[in-house]
Structure 1
Amino acid sequence: MKKDIQIPEVSNVYVSVVNEYNDIYKTHDWNAYIINDKDVALEMVLIVTRGFSEIKSTSTMRHKLDMLPAKSYAKIEFMQEDVLALNNEFKVTFFEANKMFEKTYLFRKNTINKKALQTIPLMEVRGVLVK
């Protein structure tokens, strides 16, 4: 039965962590974003996040977007500095053309840092990207 279920491969959907200036608190914060670089909208986007290592783990966080338009992005969550030293996992599930897609994006521990910044598609900012 399980072999009959086919989940198509995800393409042109990314998770990025960007270091942004917070005007309210006058700090530089790390924020996670989901990016839809497709020509179609994503429906019912579910994102489950957690940070973990061999000895520590964070709470599991769940996020939902009813719709993520084509060629757009949305903020997932603020990331505290402490969790950057952990592996950070983002499990993303969504529907496109009535088909379910699923992918796990993993930022390995200590890979989210200012030395790893690169240009992020669609956002026109610099951050750390997982495809």
Structure 2
Amino acid sequence: MKKDIKIPQVKNVHVAVVQEQHLEYKTQDWNAYIINNSDNDLETVLIVSRGYNDKKLTPVMRHTIAKLPARSYAKIEYLQEKVLELNNEFKITYFEDNQMFDKTYVFRQNTINENALQTIPLMQLKGVLVK
């Protein structure tokens, strides 16, 4: 029965971690974003995130976005510096035209750093992208 369930491949939806200036505290913060680079709105976006390695595991965080318009992005969460030493996983499930999509994005440990910064599509900011 499991083989009969068809979940289509996710395209044009990404997760990025961007380094941004925090205006109040005058610090450089790392923030995770979901990017909808498609021509369709995403509905009921569910995001489950966690950090982990062989010895450590962060608490699971859950986020919901009712609607993410086409060609837009939304902030998921702030990432503390210590969490960047872990694998950071974002499981994303959403509906597009009444069809369910699901994908897991993983930033491997220590891959979120200033040396890995690149221009992120739609945002025109520097960050680390997982497709």
Per the shorter chain, which TM-score range?
over 0.9
Aligned-pair CA distance for 1:28: 0.5
Gaps of 5+ in 1: none
**C-alpha deviations, 1:52-109, integer Å up to 9, x for none?**
0000010000000000000000000000000000000000000001000000000000
Task: Give the Cα–Cα distance (whole angstroms) in 1 for the partners of residues 4 and 123 of structure 2.
Answer: 38
- Runs of 4+ aligned structure 1 residues displaced above 3 Å come to none
**C-alpha deviations, 1:106-126, integer Å up to 9, x for none?**
000000000000010000011
Task: Give the Cα–Cα distance (whole angstroms) in 2 for the partners of residues 115 and 3 of structure 1.
Answer: 42
1:85 aligned partner: 85
Task: Give the Cα–Cα distance (whole angstroms) in 1 for the partners of residues 66 and 17 of structure 2.
Answer: 21
**C-alpha deviations, 1:25-45, integer Å up to 9, x for none?**
110000000000000100000
Aligned-pair CA distance for 1:47: 0.3
Task: Give the Cα–Cα distance (whole angstroms) in 2 for the partners of residues 22 and 3 of structure 1.
Answer: 47
2:39 matches 1:50: no
1:73 aligned partner: 73
Identical columns (%) = 66
Task: Give the Cα–Cα distance (whole angstroms) in 2 for the partners of residues 6 and 118 of structure 1.
Answer: 34
- Equivalenced residue count is 131
